[in-house]
Structure 1
Amino acid sequence: MTGNSRQVTSEQQGCHPDLIDRVARHRKHEFQKPIADFNLHAFQQAEAQLTAHGGPLILDSGCGVGDSTRHLAEHYPDHLVLGLDRSGHRLQRQRPDLPDNALLIRTDLVDFWRLAAAANWQPARHCLFYPNPYPKPSQLSRRFHAHPVFPAMVTLSRQFEARSNWKIYLQELQLSLAVYGIHSLIEAIDSDSPVVSAFERKYRASQQPLWKLITQS
């Protein structure tokens, strides 16, 4: 199998010089953006499902077409796996027969994470596979670790994994987590390891180097 996905290119060749100041500012000032009604409804749906399940939770944030949610649900059959994505188009392309312990929900992560943090959710694991890296230096504030939502995100689980085909994204994420006293390890993804998502399958087919960040509690 071959692919034609282009590697991430950027004028930024290392961690953004404004990153730490941005993280510190967002840690100090609470994010006040109102929660959209449809995101509140999505969270209530998820909360009802979690209550009905009664077991541990895994969040698969930015799940796309749901392949990663399926992968996690199959590997953790006693967990409820919630796949979250804001794209209705991607979610409609989900493959059939999603495991019974998995649910895909259309929602904006920025609102959902804040609602989950306010409800003191403590997922057993939180996965963020191949988020949009927004690689232009001017797009720093659109990366989750430099966004006002980051303080809410870091409260959700100490067992956190992120994957990317742009190593700088994970290096920035690692520095941002360290501000909160959360240590993490970045390592290359072995080409023989199981594919976790549609994006990962595409990037591997294009022979791109891939990395993962895993927190160390």
Structure 2
Amino acid sequence: MHKNSPQICSNQQGVHPDLGRILKRYQESDYIAPISERSRQTYEMLLEEIEHFDMPLILDSGCGNGESTVTLGKMFPEHFVIGIDKSHHRLQSGRRIFPELHEQCDNVIAVRAELVDLWRLFADDGVFFDYHFLLYQNPWPKKKHVRRRWHAHPVFPIMLELSDSLTMRTNWHLYAQEFCSALELVSGVYSTIQTVPQHHPITPFERKFLASGHTCYEVLAKLPEQADQALNEGI
């Protein structure tokens, strides 16, 4: 990921005009898409790990190669950090690139699974995370693809049940604005947008974006003082 990354271009200007209608429809109906057997098996394994560690939980959704998961594990040593990514290749590359980090941080696990499935299973069982991190990507910049963005997906209201502390990062300011709007529409939570510091990137995408001169943005929803201080000092 050493090449420069182009800026995101979109034919959409401002928050999507249909966002409110889309989210209202989701809130008034049940999301009943089938959950794969592989996802259920992964979930059962994670429940065993959660019981074994018996620690407060942090969720790193879309963890890529696991670099952010390991970093969060070091920042929050009293928590068990679960990283989830759908790509086996990304997870394996992380273990090859920095195996020593995984060996030195024993309070983390990174697994391959579909986020939509795992979020629903966690919510169904009332599994609660002290902090939930959603760090890049998923922009889908074309206006017609708005429903593919996390905050306009049917699972979004369910995802918000997992934690009362949500941190999302992106290199597309409109995505951050829209995410804030969706949070307020669904939960009434007012959130702010901040710029990500240039030092200590914690994901390969963040490192590439910052090196390419992008501004990266962070949405904080009901962020407790403890996590806010750790993020400002450690990331």
Q: Same fold (TM over 0.5)?
A: yes
Equivalent runs, 1:105-184 vs 2, <5 Å: 105-179=111-185, 180-184=187-191
Task: Report what 1:6 is aligned to.
Answer: 6
| Identity across matched positions, percent | 39
Is the Cα–Cα contact under 8 Å of residues 57 and 124 in structure 1 kept in the other structure?
yes
Task: Report what 1:77 is aligned to.
Answer: 77
Would you say how many aligned residue pairs link Structure 1 and Structure 2?
A: 215
The Cα shift of 1:216 comes to: 2.1
Deviant stretches of 4+, over 3 Å: none
The Cα shift of 1:173 comes to: 1.0
**SS where residue 183 of structure 1 aligns?**
coil
Is the Cα–Cα contact under 8 Å of residues 138 and 150 in structure 2 kept in the other structure?
no
**SS where residue 134 of structure 2 aligns?**
strand
The Cα shift of 1:3 comes to: 4.5
The Cα shift of 1:131 comes to: 2.2
CA distance in 1 between partners of 2:24 and 2:178 (Å): 13
CA distance in 2 between partners of 1:37 and 1:117 (Å): 17
Tell me the TM-score normalised to structure 2 length.
0.89
Q: Which moved more, 1:79-88 or 1:89-98?
A: 89-98
CA distance in 1 between partners of 2:37 and 2:206 (Å): 32
The Cα shift of 1:58 comes to: 0.4
CA distance in 1 between partners of 2:16 and 2:92 (Å): 36
Tell me the TM-score normalised to structure 1 length.
0.96
CA distance in 2 between partners of 1:200 and 1:88 (Å): 20
- Unaligned residue ranges in structure 2 (runs of 5+): 224-235
Instruction: Specify the code of the residue in structure 2 equivalent to 1:66.
Output: G
Q: Kindly indicate whether structure 1 or structure 2 has the higher relative contact order, using CA contacts under 8 Å at least 6 residues apart.
A: 1
Is the Cα–Cα contact under 8 Å of residues 83 and 104 in structure 1 kept in the other structure?
yes
CA distance in 2 between partners of 1:168 and 1:114 (Å): 27
**SS where residue 201 of structure 1 aligns?**
helix
Equivalent runs, 1:23-62 vs 2, <5 Å: 23-62=23-62
Could you list the per-position Cα deviations for residues 95-136 of structure 1 after superposition, in whole angstroms to 9, with x for gaps in the alignment?
A: 203111010110000100000000101100000001220010
The Cα shift of 1:196 comes to: 1.6
**SS where residue 167 of structure 2 aligns?**
strand
Q: Which moved more, 1:2-11 or 1:151-160?
A: 2-11
**SS where residue 83 of structure 2 aligns?**
strand
Is the Cα–Cα contact under 8 Å of residues 165 and 221 in structure 2 kept in the other structure?
yes
CA distance in 2 between partners of 1:131 and 1:206 (Å): 16
- Unaligned residue ranges in structure 1 (runs of 5+): none
CA distance in 2 between partners of 1:30 and 1:201 (Å): 38
Task: Report what 1:104 is aligned to.
Answer: 110
Instruction: Specify the code of the residue in structure 1 equivalent to 2:194.
Output: E
Could you list the per-position Cα deviations for residues 129-188 of structure 1 after superposition, in whole angstroms to 9, with x for gaps in the alignment?
A: 012200101111111111110111010001100000001111111111112112211111
CA distance in 1 between partners of 2:12 and 2:65 (Å): 30
